């Protein structure tokens, strides 16, 4: 992952006539850091036209709530980006290194939601987990699955996994095993009751570990196994067991709801993004995961995608998180969760989850063509680069 110095490739000195000294900034999408004479970041801005945005900020008069930036800013460093999603990624990287307060403030907006379980604990249970909590180191052991659209979708996933795998809903009683008191779920046949010693805790821990694989791609295999078991139960006239399995299969559909569309094992989480590039007629391919993000390369229409597909797989290996969790960049994961579930789809931008299954060159080549076709249609219709102007203005002095 590039550092701020590598990303901010343009640098201008703020002196003399504003219109003249800012000509070195591209009239295109990107981000800019406004710096004082000692190199301190005064303000970080991001938008669809960096030159216009910087001029507007520097030309604004001072007042009771706004500092006179022209009297403070001596230098502007900027990065040009081809798309709003790339601009947000660069914004995170730059503020993380140069403006920690801004970075913390913006990550409060971009929060991702997961579910966590530690199968090896004495009382394994699914709980909601936000990227803020993950970043704080609360979930150092166990498994994370997600991301989900919001905390409500995460709570629904927790409830569903508990039901599908007969997990304990009262961990305080489980901690007393084998001297705990069984709850009503035992009588309903929905919990084997490890709390009172009716089953070994190790059996419950085994189901807890298996439950982490039932989100995302693993759900298909779980359904196939349970469908076969339901049919065997019905054939053996164990209709009560067959009916219970049928209800579980129906309940498993909750894991395919819109709020869980991007969920899977966090350890295998990696997004592939094909978005408009900086150069007209080029698409930019980016891979994002729990350990950060990287630009794989740029491609034009007609690219077979095979060479890029190999680079994507290599990039995925670099950015996928640790074996059980998110990795070290919960801020990036939160941003991608926000984009996947909440942000209006940017015109001409393609997103997919890769992870363990990888990606094939044919899909990548088609995604590049769709991206470039959508970008061109957007320019012809609107007369400017695709995507709405998304401006994030933060900072110390000059914040308005």
- Taking the whole predicted model, whether its pTM rises above 0.75 is answered as yes
Closest listed residue to residue 35, CA positions, set 398, 283, 391: 398
Q: What is the pLDDT of residue 252?
A: 95
pLDDT single digits (tens) 357-398: 567 677 788 888 888 887 655 543 344 444 444 444 454 433
Beta bridge partners of 305: none
pLDDT (0 to 100) of residue 355: 60
For 4-109, CATH number out of 3.40.1440.10, 3.40.50.300, 3.30.9.10, 3.30.70.2190 equals 3.40.1440.10
What the block records as the tokens of 330 is 């919960």
What are the residue boundaries of the structural domains of the chain, listed by start?
4-109, 116-217, 265-382
Q: Which ranges of the chain have pLDDT less than 70?
A: 1, 61-67, 304-305, 321-327, 343-348, 355-358, 360, 375-400
Q: Return the percentage of the chain with pLDDT > 70, whole number.
A: 86
pLDDT score at 322: 65
């Amino acid at each position: 992952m590039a550092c701020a110095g590598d990303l901010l490739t343009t640098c201008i000195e703020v002196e003399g006539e504003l219109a003249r000294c800012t000509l070195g900034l591209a009239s295109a999408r990107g981000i800019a850091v406004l710096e004082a004479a000692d190199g301190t970041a005064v303000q970080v801005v991001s938008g669809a036209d960096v030159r216009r945005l910087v001029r507007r900020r520097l030309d604004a008069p001072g007042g009771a709530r706004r500092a006179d930036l022209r009297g403070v800013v001596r230098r502007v460093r900027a990065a040009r980006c081809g798309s709003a999603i790339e601009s947000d990624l660069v914004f995170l990287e730059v503020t993380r290194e140069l403006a920690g307060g801004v970075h913390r403030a913006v990550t409060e907006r971009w929060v991702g939601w997961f579910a966590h379980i530690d199968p090896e604990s004495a009382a394994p249970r699914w709980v909601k987990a936000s990227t803020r909590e993950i970043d704080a180191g609360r979930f150092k052991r166990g498994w994370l699955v997600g991301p989900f659209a919001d905390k409500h979708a995460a709570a629904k996933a927790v409830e569903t996994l508990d039901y599908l795998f007969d997990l304990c809903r009262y961990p305080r009683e489980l901690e007393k095993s084998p001297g705990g008191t069984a709850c009503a779920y035992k009588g309903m046949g929905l919990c084997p009751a490890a709390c009172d010693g009716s089953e070994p805790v190790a059996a419950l821990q085994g189901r807890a570990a298996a439950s982490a694989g039932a989100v995302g791609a693993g759900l298909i295999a779980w359904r196939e196994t349970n469908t076969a078991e339901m049919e065997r139960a019905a054939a053996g006239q164990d209709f009560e067991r067959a009916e219970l399995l049928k209800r579980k299969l129906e309940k498993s559909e909750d894991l395919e709801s819109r709020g869980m569309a991007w969920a899977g094992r966090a350890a295998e989480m990696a997004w592939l993004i094909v978005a408009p590039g900086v150069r007209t007629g080029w698409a930019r391919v980016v891979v994002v995961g729990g350990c950060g993000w990287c630009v794989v390369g740029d491609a034009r229409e007609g690219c077979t995608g095979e060479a890029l597909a190999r680079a994507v797989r290599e990039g995925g290996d670099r950015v996928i998180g640790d074996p059980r969790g998110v990795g070290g960049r919960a801020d990036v994961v939160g941003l991608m969760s926000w984009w996947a579930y909440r942000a209006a789809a940017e015109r001409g931008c393609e997103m997919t989850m890769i992870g363990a299954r990888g990606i094939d060159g044919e899909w990548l080549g088609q995604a590049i063509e769709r991206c470039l076709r959508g970008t061109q249609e957007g320019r012809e219709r609107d007369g400017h680069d695709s995507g709405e102007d998304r401006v994030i203005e933060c900072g110390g002095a000059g914040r308005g």
